[in-house]
Structure 1
């Protein structure tokens, strides 16, 4: 129901657009008929258009441009999942994750990794591979993590696991106006492997 705030707001904005078109046309026709000089009429036109532009910008901002603080529990609810990686046996060596390069049009890589009973695929926009002594990479550090939990997993899984953060929009007025309530705000996979020898680089298949 919260997302109906956004639907109603867009309907009201469209109705206001129709109103000012009718209102401006009506006042200008009246001005022509009565022979009055433009004067205050143009000022009223300007005020109405400025209000429309400001309202439209606000709706665009709240729907698509609004930055999200994933550490703000008032805006999003964050859940974590941790799964050990399953080692894949290749013809020449074993690996935990495959990395496929993009087709050259976009600087993106595609990751494939295996957990218990599942093959998972993601890309470098929504994931990062951790190889260093610290499980948290620079890219992953943009999101809230339980750092102690990650360090503990290093010991129990021999640095071979995936930590997944999923954030959902909570029911708030701004989230409702943006029609985001209940939707996924962000999902990020932190793929932890001991070293780069357990990563297989493969060419990206193109059509």
Structure 2
């Protein structure tokens, strides 16, 4: 485990310890009033109880939000580092001799998600359309839903080098800092996304 993530572990230990302390503190305070002093629970006591409970709820909510519910901002260079990898795809042929680079497997797809297959170094890769997209080189290069500073100069060079048939793999990794450590995310992958670049739609095979 990355050492920065111990920030989050220590924070959770403190919160759990405070939760135990609050439970016993409320219990002991009530027993002291009712049994020892033979008194009654007043609004002051109730407000003190509520204040302690609210503080604990806020602390737990803050840690849960930081750990589970924050959405990664891929443009935030303080939070994540983004890397790009480029691999040329291998052409495949249908029974009638038609070449293609990407196959859409409709048998494994459903109404909302497609399943793509492509080949690198004679190895088959299968990805979901949730984590990838097909980019037709006859159209302007766009990737919807992923806000990144795409290296267009590099992409244009690789378009020429690989004849518009390659895979762009984008990986975002959480940096080592206090906030990521508090959320137990430091040095972990935030996302991986693939852009399947093809020369034209005719190089996509749809298997029904």
Matches within 5 A, 1:93-112: 93-101=98-106, 102=108, 104=110, 107-112=112-117
Quote the residue 1:163 is aligned against.
168
Per the alignment, in what secondary structure is the counterpart of residue 71 of structure 1? Answer: coil
Q: Which residue of 1 aligns with 2:13?
A: 11
Select between 131-140 and 26-35 the one with higher mean Cα deviation: 131-140
User: Corresponding residue for 1:21?
Assistant: 23
Moved more, 88-97 or 51-60: 88-97
**1:180 — aligned with what?**
185
Residue 130 in structure 1 maps to residue 132 in structure 2 = no
Q: Residue 2 of structure 1: SS of its match in structure 2?
A: helix
* Structure 2 segments unaligned to the other structure (5+ residues): none
Runs of 4+, deviation exceeding 4 Å: none
For structure 1, the residue ranges without an aligned partner over 5 or more in a row are none
Structure 2: how far apart are the matches of 1:128 and 1:193? 11
Q: CA RMSD in A?
A: 1.8
Greater displacement, 13-22 / 148-157: 148-157
Q: Which of 41, 48, 52 in structure 1 is aligned with 2:45?
A: 41
Report if the CA contact (8 A) 1:135-1:154 is conserved.
Answer: no
**C-alpha contact (below 8 Å) 1:76/1:169 kept by paired residues:** yes
Structure 1 residue 177: deviation in Å?
A: 0.9
User: For 1:87-113, what per-residue CA distance to the aligned partner results, in whole angstroms no more than 9, with x for missing partners?
Assistant: 012213221111224564x72222111
- Asked if the contact 1:135–1:151 (Cα under 8 Å) also holds between the matched residues in 2, the reply is no
How many angstroms apart in 1 are the aligned matches of 2:143 and 2:184? Answer: 32
TM-score, length-scaled by structure 1: 0.89
Q: Give the Cα–Cα distance (whole angstroms) in 2 for the partners of residues 37 and 64 of structure 1.
A: 38
Task: Give the 5 Å matches for 1:82-93.
Answer: 82-92=86-96, 93=98
Q: Kindly indicate whether the alpha-carbon contact (under 8 Å) linking 1:168 and 1:183 is maintained by their aligned counterparts in 2.
A: yes
User: In the aligned structure 2, how far is the partner of 1:100 from the partner of 1:21?
Assistant: 56
- Cα-to-partner distance string for 1:68-97 (whole Å, 9 max, x where unaligned): 221222211111111111101221322111
Which one is further off, 148-157 or 18-27? 148-157
